[in-house]
């Protein structure tokens, strides 16, 4: 008598198709952030040059991450982070440089650590699994 092996399905979202918005005052810096954040499974879906644009892009594009350079954070980045969380509770903010209220911070000259910081936040959130 042959049995059938049935795999148990979990309701956790997969750690794929992560949507990212990058924000920096200068176009070249946005390109640097884009290159540092993107992977085969993670997609940069928007960019902005200032805090209001960053908020709008992150909400409209349903971004999981907002990578916010200090140059685009505005005078009260913690208010931007609170506003984003009130609209998109699952959104995570990674500050590049001094960005008050960010979930994680990466030094401006250490963009090679950006993906690791983002990956750590995903793991801490506990609402995903790897494919």
CATH number for 38: 3.40.50.2300
Residue 113 lies in a domain: yes
Read off the pTM: 0.85
Residue 107 lies in a domain: yes
Quick: pLDDT tens for 89-105.
Answer: 999 999 999 999 999 99
On average, the pLDDT of the chain sits at: 88
Quick: pLDDT tens for 39-91.
Answer: 988 999 999 999 999 999 999 999 999 999 999 999 999 999 999 999 999 99
Count the domains in the chain. Answer: 1
Residue 33 lies in a domain: yes
Residue 7 lies in a domain: no
Could you list the residue range(s) of the whole structural domain that residue 110 is in? 18-125
Residue 4 lies in a domain: no
Q: Quick check: 10 pLDDT over 70?
A: no
Residue 8 lies in a domain: no
**Other CB atoms closer than 10 Å to residue 94's CB: what's the count?**
25
Assign 111 to helix, strand or coil. Answer: helix
């Amino acid at each position: 008598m042959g049995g059938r092996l049935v795999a148990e399905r979990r309701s956790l979202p997969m750690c794929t198709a992560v949507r990212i918005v990058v924000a920096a005052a200068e176009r070249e810096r946005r390109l640097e952030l884009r290159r540092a954040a993107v992977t085969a499974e993670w997609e940069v879906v928007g960019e902005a040059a200032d805090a209001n644009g960053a908020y709008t892009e992150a909400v409209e594009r349903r971004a999981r991450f907002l990578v916010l350079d200090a140059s685009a954070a505005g005078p009260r980045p913690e208010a931007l982070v609170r506003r984003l969380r009130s609209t998109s509770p699952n959104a995570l903010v990674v500050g590049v440089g001094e960005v008050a209220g960010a979930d994680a911070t990466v030094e401006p000259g250490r963009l090679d650590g950006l993906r690791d910081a983002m990956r750590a936040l995903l793991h801490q959130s506990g609402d995903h699994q790897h494919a």
